[in-house]
A = this chain, B = another copy of it.
């Protein structure tokens, strides 16, 4: 516990933390609100210009008939799957074992919606076309997460997505996109958001990952789907009288950061190369396909923690605030590129990696 606090402290104290867009503090909201006319009316229980305009804008951007703003992706995605299950009268969906719904939502899908999950692929790899073709159980919906965050933000080839989509359409299976990081993958695919979303019946996107907003999500699909989703949003307690703090900030940072996604992606590739040049360290994937990747180290969490704290102190560069133990002598952490990286002096960064490499060699 003490160690954990000190790595976080060391990261926060570093002159140049490399990840993310900056601190998650009230300034993030202050900047938005200072740029908003105080006379702007609040949304009211899902109605009003501020929410309707943003929903229309995102529906167009995603190439869908309609879109609904939700306070969270957890709520939006459970609801999407519930609608598809109700439509098919079959309470079963298929997704990856490391899907957000499976590991981060206290089994809300089962406890609230009584929907069972069929797990495709495994914790080491993405869902393949074969996984979908070879499903033995009938399901109402397949959920694909692009990129697959818990394995470092990996992506299948676009042709695989097309083939999975074609198969699902031909088999009466709905295809849902967990696009928490959809904006972040556009440069790799070289596709528009609507090109990708066209393969899916329903799509969720988030505004506090690469976009760096405060919270909030959009769920998009056809009109019949989204109008049902509004009923479920009320049932879940998500149809707040006012969602505008999240809507305004989502829109503001979407405009600000969408054009930077290509840069974040390039920077992720560059930074991953630096990690991979270090002793006993490898990134997953080796070459990132978006603004995120995982860093795996062949050294215990305790030892890497100590090494990192001294690297931060000596170089002024913060590499991560948290480590996760993956074995007795292995650990990992996640890197998400955002606004911060461009401000890191390259000589200081090189020095930090030189120090890290040295320490990794000496920890063996």
Contact with B along A236-262 (1 / 0, CB 8 A): 111111111110100000000000000
Q: How far is the CB of A322 from chain B (nearest CB, A)?
A: 12
Copies of this subunit: 2
B40–A106 CB distance below 8 A: no
B39–A27 CB distance below 8 A: yes
Q: What CA separation (Å) do A236 and B101 show in the bound complex?
A: 12
A231–B26 CB distance below 8 A: no
Q: Is A74 an interface residue (CB 8 A)?
A: yes
Residues of B within 8 A of A30 (CB): 33, 36, 38
Chain B residue at minimum C-beta to C-beta distance from A238: B237
Q: How far is the CB of A181 from chain B (nearest CB, A)?
A: 14
B33–A235 CB distance below 8 A: no
B108–A29 CB distance below 8 A: no
Interface size on A, residues (CB 8 A): 51
A237–B75 CB distance below 8 A: yes
A24–B42 CB distance below 8 A: yes
Which of A38, A39, A208, A245 has the largest count of B CB atoms less than 10 A from its CB? A245
Which of A105, A232, A240 has the largest count of B CB atoms less than 10 A from its CB? A240
Q: How far is the CB of A34 from chain B (nearest CB, A)?
A: 8
B26–A33 CB distance below 8 A: yes
B-facing residues in A13-67 (Cβ within 8 Å): 23-30, 33, 36-42, 44
**Residue in B72, B113, B237 whose beta carbon sits within 8 Å of that of A76 in the complex:** B237
Residues of B within 8 A of A1 (CB): none
Q: How far is the CB of A45 from chain B (nearest CB, A)?
A: 10
Q: How far is the CB of A83 from chain B (nearest CB, A)?
A: 12
Q: What are 22 A-B contacts with C-beta separation under 8 Å? A: A24-B44, A25-B38, A25-B41, A25-B42, A26-B39, A26-B42, A29-B33, A30-B33, A30-B36, A71-B71, A71-B240, A72-B239, A72-B240, A74-B234, A75-B237, A78-B237, A112-B112, A214-B242, A215-B241, A215-B243, A238-B238, A245-B245
